Amino acid sequence: MGHTDSGGMSQPQRLLHPGAAVMLILGIVIGAGIFKTPSMVAGISGDAGWAMLLWLVGALVSTAGALCYAELCTAYPHAGGDYHFLQRAFGRHLSFLYAWARTTIINTGSIALLAFVFGDYMSSLLNLGPYSSALWALGIVLALTGLNLVGLQASARLQVVLTVSECLGLLMVVVAGLVLDPPQPRVVEWFVTAPAPAQWGLCLVFVLLTFGGWNESAYVSAEVRGGPRTMVWVIVTSMAALTLIYLLVNLALLWGLGLNGLSTSKTAASDLLGQAFGPWASKALGVIVAIAALTSINATMIVGARSNFALGRDWGTLARLGQWQTSAGGPRQGFVLQGLISVLLILLATQEADGFSAMVEFTAPVFWAFLFLVSVAVMWLRHRDPHVERPFRVPLYPFLPLVFAGACAWLTYSSITYAISQRAIHVSMALIASGVLALILLWAMERRSRVRT
């Protein structure tokens, strides 16, 4: 039976098992980044000890953000996630712009980005021609959109299977680096040469981007069995697991390849597996990375469609997006719109030299700018809604929210600096401007409707 609100519209139900929610968050966060960024961080830092410390700092900053989200999720559980938080804090106009950005840039751009990672690695196994990567990307977006239209339970079950497979692949990397003896001694320097402050900053850009995605937990806060306190357990467990996995993988790569070997390798995990188990293992990494990308795409789709649903509930003109299909356990119209835009972005990215890089430049500045506003919302809502029940409160308040806000502001600046000379960021800025125009149009239409009635 579906739950129906006073207006007769179906609402999200608490159907998602806490364990599946943890797998969902792990699936979003553990993507292709962990296979790429360790070599960059090791090369920039120039010291194994400092590289590991930077990964730990990134984990602590991410945990601070996750604790902020835990307070917001338990105080204001809603399928709209941080869209709903921004609406409570700053009003429906700013939250509309955020939902517009998620629909046209943040989530759909992330889906396209991950689809290109999937396409690149699948093309190494079966090349489909000059546009092989894009064809694989289009195929996986269409297939996973269709799966999510079937329903949440089918999608969540696939998510568990994919995430377990992905973690087993990372376990192979850990075993190869920490358990098996390397063919020759590796040189690993611990806290010998401290990196310069600018190098710390650049390393943290890659580390925090690799940890990115835990904030999507907000979009299932109204659907996890057990209520608010269980949601806190889901978030804390997810962050602890992520920290452990990332530290072990980096330690294994450093121990198995040495600092220089890791710093100079473009395919560090593949090199390590090939060294430990033979050429077949190196090729198998392509499948592992494809699974990582596949897992993240599916998880991002699940949470992304829910912001479209929340947008449709708040704006009468977009009411079709606000229809929740109880039988499927999800917003079908939201999935269709998300899939369509993702396909268009993949087609657009084929005009660039590298589809993956283009989507990074397209999404990152907008993502971190709005995440900064969410961090401010934690403190503003504490001030404005002091009587709202908060089953969980951020510890060390206001220190942790300020740390989170500072990190978001800095990453916004860094992302803009990185992407400003590229065409992709200008496309995303144009889409934000189109959101402003859409907001004005919707406001005018709803005002006219109120006058007529």
Helix (H) or strand (E) holding 156: helix 152-178
- For residue 119, give the DSSP letter: H
Residue 9's pLDDT band (boundaries 50, 70, 90)?
very low
Tens-digit pLDDT profile for residues 88-129: 999 888 988 998 898 889 888 888 888 887 887 788 778 888
Task: Specify the fold of 18-452.
Answer: Amino acid/polyamine transporter I (1.20.1740)
Domain map (residue ranges) of the chain: 18-452
Task: List Cβ neighbours of 148 (8 Å cut-off, separation of 6 or more).
Answer: 155, 298, 301, 302, 305, 330, 335
Residue 247's pLDDT band (boundaries 50, 70, 90)?
very high
β-partners of residue 224 are: 16
pLDDT of res. 14: 58
- Residue 391, judged by CB atoms within 10 A of its CB (0-12, 13-18, 19+), counts as middle
CA 364 from chain center: how many Å?
Answer: 11
Statement: residue 322 has pLDDT above 60: no
Tens-digit pLDDT profile for residues 164-173: 777 788 888 8
β-partners of residue 4 are: 10
Sign of CA dihedral 40, 41, 46, 47: negative
Report how far residue 121's alpha carbon sits from residue 228's, in angstroms, rounded to the nearest whole number. Answer: 39
Statement: residue 146 has pLDDT above 80: yes
Task: List Cβ neighbours of 354 (8 Å cut-off, separation of 6 or more).
Answer: none
Residues 83, 304 contacting (CB under 8 angstroms): no
* CA contacts within 13 A on the Cβ side of 201: 15
Q: Name the H helices within 265-398.
A: 268-277, 279-314, 332-349, 355-384
Statement: residue 7 has pLDDT above 50: no
Report how far residue 58's alpha carbon sits from residue 415's, in angstroms, rounded to the nearest whole number. Answer: 16
Report how far residue 321's alpha carbon sits from residue 319's, in angstroms, rounded to the nearest whole number. Answer: 5
pLDDT of res. 352: 75
pTM of the shown model: 0.75
Helix (H) or strand (E) holding 184: none
The packing angle between helices 48-75 and 228-264, to 10°, is 160
**Structure tokens, 154:** 């089918």
- Grouping H, G, I as helix, E, B as strand and the rest as coil, residue 10 is strand
Q: Mean of the per-residue pLDDT values for the chain?
A: 79
- The amino acid present at 159, given as its one-letter code, is Q
pLDDT higher for 224 or 23?
23
Residue 277's pLDDT band (boundaries 50, 70, 90)?
confident
pLDDT higher for 227 or 28?
28
Of 249, 114, 225, give the one whose Cα is nearest residue 175: 249
Residue 156's pLDDT band (boundaries 50, 70, 90)?
low
**Structure tokens, 94:** 């700013």
β-partners of residue 330 are: 325
Report how far residue 441's alpha carbon sits from residue 435's, in angstroms, rounded to the nearest whole number. Answer: 10
pLDDT of res. 5: 46
Residue 349's pLDDT band (boundaries 50, 70, 90)?
confident
Statement: residue 382 has pLDDT above 90: yes
